[in-house]
Amino acid sequence: MKLDKRKAYDIYDRILSVLEELVKIGCDLDRVDAIRIADDAADYRGPLYQGSSSKKNIIRPREQLRIAKNRGKYTILHCDGNLMKAYMALKLTKIYDGLRPLDLMPKPAVKAAIRWIMEVIRLREIVGWNTVFFTGIPIDLVFNNYVEAQEFVKILLSLLEEHGLKRLVLSTTHSEYPGRSYNEPRVRIKIDILKKGFPL
């Protein structure tokens, strides 16, 4: 089946128009200080859009951005995948105030999570300090029952030690997995540790 790009863009534009109305509603609420715009424009291999379409699609939600910025709200991009490729993150930091979740690579175990931390630090060195990072809690480890709570906390503390608190908001790297729950006993232990500020 051949993709009809014109129809695809038409559907996407209609979805964007609905999202723009939601952004307007959110911007009218005083308790809302930032608007999060979701566009999974990458996977672990890098940008999903190639060539000339990359720039076009990376700024496609521009009307949402315009609405939010004109009403004095910060803008946060939710974009999965490796933003290190093709200088994607550098381009995005010129558009958005924050990036989430910096899920740059798989991290199913502790050693992989340590490598991921180093990639986050490298990304910070590339983009500078004007952008807020919303990351730091690898969902992979939250739901890995072979990773003990103590190891989980060490990963969080390692990120905080390497990066520091500046321009960092601790956030999960993904929503809970399908068929899994934060109320599972071993998962609950890790969540409770987070809520209490990491005491063991």
Per-residue confidence band for 87, with pLDDT thresholds at 50, 70 and 90: confident
> Residue 176: what pLDDT?
86
Query: If you average pLDDT over residues 151-173, what whole number do you get?
Result: 95
pLDDT at 56: 53
Average pLDDT over residues 55-84: 84
> In the beta sheet, which residues pair with residue 46?
43
* Buried/exposed code over 16-35 (b: 16+ C-beta within 10 A; e: otherwise): beeeeeebeebbeeeeeeeb
129 neighbors 166 (Cβ within 8 angstroms): yes
Helix (H, G, I), strand (E, B) or coil at 131: coil
SS3 77: strand
Confidence (pLDDT) at 47: 86
The structure tokens listed for 44 are 């672990």
Residue 14 has pLDDT above 70, yes or no: yes
pTM here is 0.87
Q: What is the pLDDT of residues 102-126, one digit of tens each?
A: 999 999 999 999 999 999 999 999 9
pLDDT band at 60 (very low <50, low <70, confident <90, very high): low
